[in-house]
Structure 1
Amino acid sequence: LTVFYPQALNSNLYKSSSLNNIIDGLSSLTDHFSDLSVSSEPRKSSKQPPPNYLCHLCFNKGHYIKDCPQARPKGEGLTPYQGKKRCFGEYKCPKCKRKWMSGNSWANMGQECIKCHINVYPQKQVNSKILIEYP
């Protein structure tokens, strides 16, 4: 998206070589472009779903899944898997960089590194039922 403000460049501020006028001109351009800046604040979704749309998380009408009040915030929980059963986990110790895999991985539980003796949370977790391979 390119927006050009020719009226700012054609102003008398740029016809003079005075340093103050150049600074004023740059300030004027800054004001024009400040409306285009990207805000770091999260925007609320302005688009409403169709009247018969059901949220795929809570199955209620009136919002999309990304705006669902029942959604778990990103980063909540210490592990990728949040189920109640055991799963398969891949671990990497941040201190000694040792890697290991375990079929005894649980949600929000770490395992002790056998070299450093520190608690390490899994980088990746997969439900154990998915890992069944056939020859």
Structure 2
Amino acid sequence: MFKSILVPIDLADTDLAKPAIATAATLSQTWNGSVRLLNVLPITPVMLAEYVPADFDAQQRATSEEALAIVAAESGIAAPRISTAVRKGGIYHEILEEAAAVKADLIVMTSHRPAMRTYFLGSNAGHVVRYAKCSVLVVRH
């Protein structure tokens, strides 16, 4: 049923992603599917562009790719069934674009505990739930 599972990860808080990764691992094993870990890098604001090194974007991407490789290795998912991707842009937009690109059947993601301004879901999780063309499973920490 779920052959392609996308798991967006915030590398600033990998502990928050662990329940989503564990859920994706179980589902991928059950359905003999694959898991794609995704990290979305923010766009460097134009105002800051002159203050960062010329290769800042490349350094940021390389660091994210290395961190994702570590998360993938620690996930317990067999290497042939897990892959990683780093995208740059708006978080929920890039999640939806990656889901379409890999033809994801399911997006498994975590959401921060709700505050008054994001009462039921975090804003990124809420957008993904509303606009995804596949099923979305939000795992609470």
Classify the TM-score, shorter chain. under 0.3
- TM-score relative to the length of structure 1: 0.19
Structure with greater proportional helix content: 2
Q: Which has the higher contact order (CA 8 A, sep 6+)?
A: 2
